[in-house]
Structure 1
């Protein structure tokens, strides 16, 4: 898992756009931010790969002539040029941001005048809210349709046409929807958060005024974000084990890197759940884990589920010995060290960017990175220890030790307990960061409940949901910016400012 850092949006001289007419400032500001957010990471990725290649070449004992370096330099320039120019495509994210933000600000005044003519009985407040909602709904719908109009090889498939004369010869291209699903679910999640948060805030104010606010309601308020994070992260980890196609490729890759597990163990869990691997029966699955036994120096018989029931927990420990608690501790220490290499440079960069570093600011950066690393390390350790608890510690005593029970435990119970436990690590983080983290993982968890690709004829439903949700969030950001939480709540007021 990951989290969004505390990012304070400050208008620089460039993004203030004082030389631009006020009505156009949100449009241009949104385009610039959208362009930077879509092109910047790609440029950084290319440069980091180039640095890694150069480092490997420098450490190599066999140095070629300067010709390969020239080719490498040309390839780098070609890649950079392609990424920079691709960002100006009118069907990409920067244009979408400009249409959404610019359209909502430019259309608000004329739509409000239209509301005054068509619905004079409405109050001024109601007319303003309706105008803000409609002025965002229209460009949001059009902007998302703009993004969806661009074809992608991952969402295009060539299938054979059904023909009685020439079966299987002619083929047709079928386009699928789903490219913008993550963006739509992001908007839906924030809209739900805005609506529920506003309703709960009004209830709280009313109950406090009547002196009926209870400790239970106060506890519910404080535990909402941790519960959202725990449920969302549990769904994500379940999908990572059993339904990897439901996760974005980059997110799946990141989780795999953090989990640091031999993929053969994950395949064994998947096959156990699907019934391909059955304890006490020879279903031809020994070839999966026996090579792993050879790699780690274990007896080959451990990898044969027809003989060994269940697979020894020491194999899950991947070289940490037979003790589950020691394995959890080593997972924590290794994950903490890995996390610090990621969080510490990020926190130092954020501190240095704002003002010259001082010993106090550097210490705060180290403490912040240490807290975040402790959270992530605890998350990983609890997930693995939950698996071990169910397989070796508590599960056999509560459920039994017969072959059918062992099959059930490894078919989902052990992973389920790990998914339940790991989310509690969010309590290590501060309350403000729990909020950001809950809003970060919630849309990704929702995405695991939907197919990554679906029939293009049903795409209008997603577009409608996105437009309505974006209209709710933008209308709230103008009327009550504090109600829009997370990074989006800090970004929108700045972007919409004229």
Structure 2
């Protein structure tokens, strides 16, 4: 009797590596790729853009000199490109960079687990075997995460370093000479720590909720309210997080990374003078019915857009018309402005999303894949368009539609509305545009923005001697996620669960 043929397993690139070292190598290579690839893409785009904009040599008697200068310029540009390329590729190999950090956490957790398991088997024999196994894995991950983050934190960067110079007469100088003291601040790894804390909290709450759901379904007591909570928890988390980020962008932009401020400003396409007027309203510098010297701010905006100059004078115009918020789009109708704002934002987003989704569809070039890519781009663009238009409509809703009806039309009411209530209304509404996306995207986007929203509540820099608290939170959270992903990969939601599951696989 002929035994059935067993299909041979396709050889993997890491088959030649000892199983115990495979997670470490995967983590290092993945960390290196994630750290270097974006910088390489930016470098190549800058190089190609620079070559495209080179001015050709003129057809004149001096054309030969121009051609020689052009050739020399191309050579210099190419050399600078190669130097930058070398710097990017070698910079990723630095021991205090992200690849080594990833290898330390993943490799340390897998390598330490074996000896720790022996320790717990010897000293904690009264515990069940499964508990000893989980405990050894958690402690191994905690230790590795602690030292991994400390490795990143040990790198000194100018933005988190401050040099204080003591004057000869202040009592702190040496022999009457100036003395320079370097002070290091913590907080460089705050975003990473908040990301880990958010994912650990999601794992814990998700597990508790799943157990509750199982018990309630078994007892046939699962209610509509609980069903609604399960369905709306991710949209609600996104709405709350994005609203907090938008509030920070208006009133405390310094608490957001520079790239965030730049991207939100590009997407919102709003005149910066209008944002500044809302800030001054909240700070009390711009007060309606009073001459506080703020008329030139919005007055310049009126001159640029061809509006009556008195619209920009808070002493005469109480409040400044909502048409200024519309910035000439939609006239005086808030609803028409919302529609035109959506269309404009949708087009802006499609110019970004459609090329990216089509590029990803090249992996499986067929009609179905292209159709899926186009639908995905349309949905994401509609989400972003709705996000922006709902924010502005929320502002108009408080200023024109509901605010005056609920609070009145007096000067104090108008000051309160423009002093924060109108922005709060926009922040509450905008995030619910996430309902346009499918359930999977809602989950990923909610988990993406939540740590960034938490970062707005904390200082970007803090005292160096308090850094151990952040390190403890990161190590504890990472240990929770790593322990969970080995036993139940599906509990670690989103892309992170599948990535960690692949990296930690023996």
Q: TM-score range by the shorter chain?
A: over 0.9
Return the alpha-carbon distance in structure 1 between the equivalents of residues 285 and 183 of structure 2. 32
TM-score (norm: length of structure 1): 0.93
Q: Name structure 2 gaps, 5 residues minimum.
A: 1-8
Q: How does 1:101-140 map to 2 (within 5 A)?
A: 101-140=106-145
Q: How does 1:479-494 map to 2 (within 5 A)?
A: 479-494=487-502
**For residues 159 and 282 of structure 1, do their structure 2 counterparts lie closer, same or farther at Cα, with a shift above 3 Å needed?**
farther
Return the alpha-carbon distance in structure 2 between the equivalents of residues 61 and 94 of structure 1. 48
Q: How does 1:329-344 map to 2 (within 5 A)?
A: 329-344=339-354
Q: Verify the 8 A CA contact 1:31 1:98 in the aligned structure 2.
A: yes
Residue 197, structure 1, aligned to residue 202, structure 2 = no
Q: Verify the 8 A CA contact 1:160 1:168 in the aligned structure 2.
A: no
Query: In the alignment, which residue of structure 1 is the partner of 2:332?
Result: 322
Match among 374, 384, 391 for residue 366 of structure 1:
374
| Worse overlay, 270-279 or 70-79 | 70-79
Match among 171, 196, 199 for residue 164 of structure 1:
171
1:181 shift after superposition: 0.4
| Worse overlay, 55-64 or 314-323 | 55-64
1:60 shift after superposition: 11
Match among 30, 43, 51 for residue 54 of structure 1:
51
1:51 shift after superposition: 2.9
1:300 shift after superposition: 2.6
Q: More relative contact order in 1 or in 2 (CA 8 Å, sep 6+)?
A: 1
The count of aligned residue pairs is 485
SS of corresponding position for 1:158:
strand
TM-score (norm: length of structure 2): 0.92
**For residues 69 and 286 of structure 1, do their structure 2 counterparts lie closer, same or farther at Cα, with a shift above 3 Å needed?**
farther
Q: Verify the 8 A CA contact 1:324 1:385 in the aligned structure 2.
A: yes
Q: How does 1:465-484 map to 2 (within 5 A)?
A: 465-484=473-492
Q: Verify the 8 A CA contact 1:158 1:171 in the aligned structure 2.
A: yes
Return the alpha-carbon distance in structure 2 between the equivalents of residues 491 and 13 of structure 1. 20
| Worse overlay, 267-276 or 188-197 | 267-276
Residue 424, structure 1, aligned to residue 432, structure 2 = yes
1:223 shift after superposition: 0.9
- CA RMSD, aligned part only? 2.1
1:52 shift after superposition: 3.0
Match among 402, 406, 426 for residue 398 of structure 1:
406
Q: How does 1:283-302 map to 2 (within 5 A)?
A: 283-302=292-311
Return the alpha-carbon distance in structure 1 between the equivalents of residues 110 and 502 of structure 2. 13
**For residues 295 and 54 of structure 1, do their structure 2 counterparts lie closer, same or farther at Cα, with a shift above 3 Å needed?**
farther
Greater CA radius of gyration, 1 or 2? 2
Residue 220, structure 1, aligned to residue 229, structure 2 = yes
| Worse overlay, 98-107 or 255-264 | 255-264
What are the superposed Cα offsets for residues 198-254 of structure 1, whole Å, 9 maximum, x if unpaired? 011111111111111111111111111111111111111111111111112222222
Return the alpha-carbon distance in structure 1 between the equivalents of residues 58 and 264 of structure 2. 34
Residue 438, structure 1, aligned to residue 446, structure 2 = yes
Q: Verify the 8 A CA contact 2:166 2:172 in the aligned structure 1.
A: no
Query: In the alignment, which residue of structure 1 is the partner of 2:258?
Result: 249
Return the alpha-carbon distance in structure 1 between the equivalents of residues 57 and 124 of structure 2. 75
**For residues 165 and 341 of structure 1, do their structure 2 counterparts lie closer, same or farther at Cα, with a shift above 3 Å needed?**
closer
Return the alpha-carbon distance in structure 1 between the equivalents of residues 442 and 350 of structure 2. 19
Return the alpha-carbon distance in structure 2 between the equivalents of residues 127 and 250 of structure 1. 45
